Structure 1
Amino acid sequence: MKIGLIGFGKTGKSVASILLENKKFSLEWVLRQSKVLEHRSVPEFFGVESEEPGLIYSSATTSIEELLEKHPVDVIIDFSSNEGIYTYGESAALNNVKIISAISHYEENELKLLKKLSNKTTVFWSPNITLGVNYLLFAAKFLKKIAPWVDIEVNEEHFKKKQGTSGTALKIAEALDVEKENINSVRAGGIVGKHEVIFGFPYQTVRLIHESISREAFGNGVVFVAENLKDKKKGLYNFEDILTPYFAI
């Protein structure tokens, strides 16, 4: 499966390293805004030997249309920004390229665009693409269904410079009918990401916790999603769509 990666920040780099390790995927190229590292290769950047091209391009000098024409891919993975979808979305859909977006938060206009693109190609979006946190969300919804009257608190912890409430925490709160104002946030040091759901029962407490130890966890999530998405028809998918069949009895 040929992959194009949008974004090459800290998380994008971690995802690229995981893709290089997986022989089922070929990282064809990376597109980023900065001209730094332009025309170098990802394997060279990591100092590893690889037959995958993984060339790095800058959107300032190379258009997505040009990339898709000269270096076609099966899937575009987006770890850029919430506005990145505008730069590649239409072109991807036109070329029937699947889209996997791991952007933590979209505004209403971007969500409408994702829905529009899903009429033409396969689109997946998750504000947190780690498998573990999505299992937590699935399990939390199941427990809430069993005990809809239980007290619920949502806590999230991230690195010092992360702004706003995490998109994952917002999604958990929405799924469990917890008000946004009741999400407890901590910003300290270099915490990669931790989410906790506390269920307060009479005489007992249940805590579901997911902690990202390394950003490579996002790469593992991308691999899981891509493998489960390859046979999906056009439409808009989320992690629940992918996980539900695994829970079938």
Structure 2
Amino acid sequence: MKIKVGLIGFGRTGKAVASVILQNREFSLEWVFRKTSALEHRSVPEFLGLESDEPGLIFSSEHIQIRELLEKHPIDVLIDFSSNESIHQYGKEAAKQKIKIISAISHYGEKELALLRDLASLTTVFWSPNITLGVNYLLFSARFLQKIAPGVDIEIIEEHFKQKEGVSGTAVKIAHALDLDVSQINSVRAGGIVGKHELIFGFPYQTVRLIHESISREAFGNGAIFVARNLLNFPLGLYNFEDILRPYFNIEN
């Protein structure tokens, strides 16, 4: 039986994520929920030019409340690629209905983080500023390398498309995980770069570079599916990517 998914947000990344979900046989995209009424009641598969028997209808918050949407079109997992305010709109209702919540929002304030913790007492909640598998593997590996050589010089370089504002949330997360100051993040904005993160470990006689580059936004869809698949058997609580990856690093037979 397929895992039923509801998607919040249908911008450039949301469309790419929807495309990946539609092409995965384990999952069924039941609907997309967005602010604007543009494309309302359209079929996502039809809009994206994909053959699919999944509903994938587009709904707008202008004409339907999240409670009604969840009751009429039940889902197992809710994936959020919209904005940091959206959690206030759907969070409590989804948690009441025991729907697993996967948030891929880059930046959350303390108010939103507190809400995530509250929701985690009712359902399984996951949050990661960057939900790509590769960048989280990079972060996990970086922490291991830092443990081996705690005094090594580390620099962070993040590159994104020209219109991206502020420092990359992923880069900030990496800095915090490695106990580095955010001022050590070097930002580059140019052209249509989807996203690139590089860690430079400067040893006295050698250099180690860990690099992750998103070639297309579909990488976020693959990450969301990886998380959803692994999260199915997780109990109530608030989880991050490290919680999901840790069992895979157990090399004991």
Q: Which residue of the partner structure matches residue 97 of structure 1?
A: 99
Q: Which residue of the partner structure matches residue 25 of structure 2?
A: 23
User: 2:73 matched to 1:67?
Assistant: no
Deviation of 1:62 after TM superposition, in Å, equals 1.0
The one-letter code of the counterpart of 1:92 is A
- Structure 2: how far apart are the matches of 1:29 and 1:172? 33
Q: How does 1:137-216 map to 2 (within 5 A)?
A: 137-216=139-218
The one-letter code of the counterpart of 1:25 is F
The one-letter code of the counterpart of 1:51 is D
- Structure 1: how far apart are the matches of 2:120 and 2:103? 12
- Structure 2: how far apart are the matches of 1:193 and 1:40? 30
- Structure 1: how far apart are the matches of 2:48 and 2:211? 32
Q: Which residue of the partner structure matches residue 135 of structure 1?
A: 137
Deviation of 1:39 after TM superposition, in Å, equals 0.4
SS in 2 for 1:209: strand
The one-letter code of the counterpart of 1:87 is Q
- Structure 2: how far apart are the matches of 1:50 and 1:248? 38
Q: Which residue of the partner structure matches residue 38 of structure 1?
A: 40
Please identify runs of 4+ aligned residues in structure 1 that moved more than 6 A.
Answer: none
- Structure 1: how far apart are the matches of 2:227 and 2:184? 30
SS in 2 for 1:18: helix
Aligned length: 249
- Selected match of 2:89 from 87, 90, 99: 87
- Selected match of 1:217 from 216, 219, 223: 219
Mark the runs of 5 or more structure 2 residues left unpaired by the alignment.
none
Q: Which residue of the partner structure matches residue 56 of structure 2?
A: 54
Mark the runs of 5 or more structure 1 residues left unpaired by the alignment.
none
Deviation of 1:78 after TM superposition, in Å, equals 0.1
- Structure 2: how far apart are the matches of 1:213 and 1:17? 16
Task: Deviation per CA, 1:112-147: give whole Å up to 9, x if none.
Answer: 000000000000000000000000000000000111
Deviation of 1:48 after TM superposition, in Å, equals 2.0
SS in 1 for 2:163: coil
- Structure 1: how far apart are the matches of 2:23 and 2:52? 9
TM-score if structure 2 supplies the norm length? 0.98
SS in 2 for 1:119: coil
- Structure 1: how far apart are the matches of 2:33 and 2:51? 21
Deviation of 1:34 after TM superposition, in Å, equals 1.0
TM-score if structure 1 supplies the norm length? 0.99
SS in 1 for 2:13: helix
Greater shift after overlay, 39-48 or 92-101?
39-48
Percent identity of the aligned residues? 72
SS in 1 for 2:165: coil
- Structure 2: how far apart are the matches of 1:75 and 1:56? 17
How big is the alpha-carbon RMSD for the aligned residues of Structure 1 and Structure 2? 0.5
Deviation of 1:179 after TM superposition, in Å, equals 0.4
- Structure 2: how far apart are the matches of 1:17 and 1:47? 9
- Structure 1: how far apart are the matches of 2:49 and 2:177? 42
Task: Deviation per CA, 1:135-174: give whole Å up to 9, x if none.
Answer: 0000000000111100000010000111100110000000
